[in-house]
């Protein structure tokens, strides 16, 4: 096992254990929180930093029409739910994402997975590797729900109510 991966996973598990309160589970966070991905400035961002908050993790690409159509909805969710961490994991290159953001601007966190995103999606339950793919994680860092395909406003609001 890679030492950095081990340390990140251990940190995520420690954070999850530290968030235990009355009625909270002691199960560890999902292993995805042991990973890190580069932001658009090239700095690695550890996903373990998000354990303790509800997380909406959206896999997308600039060339994916349904992904592009749902981005305004994700931006609206980001503005209306400040306690919700929204992570856009781009299965794309930095250059493509930067060009795309000149046309469509979002204020939620975008991270670059490149080709690593496809096997990661499969590990997380998207066996076909299709886009867009969205996961909802509870405050303990465990998968609470998933959506394959384009998000719909009423549906995602109902799903979010379970983790907020």
- The yes-or-no verdict on residue 5 having pLDDT over 90 is no
Q: Residue 19: pLDDT band by 50, 70, 90 thresholds?
A: very low
SS3 string, the chain, reads CCHHHHHHHHHHHHHHHHCCCCCCCCCCCCHHHHCEEEECCCCEEEHHHHCCCCEEEEEECCCCHHHHHHHHHHHHHHHHCCCCEEEEEECCCHHHHHHHHCCCCCCCEEEECHHHHHHHHHHCCCCCCCCCEEEEECCCCCEEEEEECCCCHHHHHHHHHCCC
Q: Give the tens place of pLDDT for each residue, 40-81.
A: 999 999 999 999 999 999 999 999 999 999 999 999 999 999
Q: Give the tens place of pLDDT for each residue, 90-102.
A: 999 999 999 999 9
What length is written for the chain? 164
- The yes-or-no verdict on residue 8 having pLDDT over 80 is no
What's the token pair of residue 124? 């997380």
- The yes-or-no verdict on residue 3 having pLDDT over 90 is no
Q: Region 125-132: what's the mean pLDDT?
A: 95
Question: Residue 33 and residue 96: Cα distance in Å, rounded?
Answer: 25
Round the average pLDDT of the chain to a whole number and report it.
Answer: 88
Domain ranges, ordered by start, for the chain: 3-18+35-161
Residue found by looking up tokens 């670059």 in the block = 112
Do residues 131 and 59 lie in contact, with contact meaning Cβ atoms separated by under 8 Å?
A: yes
To the nearest whole percent, how much of the chain has pLDDT over 90?
Answer: 82
Strand partners, 146: 135
Q: Provide the pLDDT for residue 34.
A: 95
To the nearest whole percent, how much of the chain has pLDDT over 70?
Answer: 84
**129's torsion region: left (phi>0), alpha (psi -120 to 50) or beta?**
left
Q: Provide the pLDDT for residue 25.
A: 55
Which of the pair, 9 or 156, is modelled with greater confidence?
A: 156
What residues contact residue 33 under an 8 Å CB cut-off, 6+ apart?
8, 9, 12, 16, 47, 48, 50, 51, 141
Assigned fold of 3-18+35-161: Glutaredoxin (3.40.30)
What's the token pair of residue 62? 């600039």
Q: Provide the pLDDT for residue 136.
A: 98
Is the model's pTM score more than 0.85?
no
């Amino acid at each position: 096992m890679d030492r950095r991966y081990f340390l990140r996973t251990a940190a995520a598990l420690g954070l999850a254990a530290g968030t235990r309160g009355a009625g909270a589970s002691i199960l560890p966070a999902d292993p995805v929180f042991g990973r890190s991905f580069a932001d658009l400035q090239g700095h690695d961002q550890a996903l373990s930093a998000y354990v303790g908050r509800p997380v909406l993790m959206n896999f997308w690409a600039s060339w994916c029409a349904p992904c592009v159509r749902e981005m305004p909805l994700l931006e609206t969710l980001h503005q209306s739910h400040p306690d919700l961490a929204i992570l856009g994991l781009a299965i794309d290159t930095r250059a493509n994402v930067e060009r795309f953001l000149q046309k469509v601007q979002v204020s939620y966190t975008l991270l670059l997975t490149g080709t690593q995103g496809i096997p990661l999606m499969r590990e997380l339950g998207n066996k076909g590797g299709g886009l867009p793919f969205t996961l909802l994680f509870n405050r303990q860092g465990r998968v609470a729900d998933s959506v394959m395909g384009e998000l719909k406003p009423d549906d995602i609001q109902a799903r979010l109510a379970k983790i907020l």
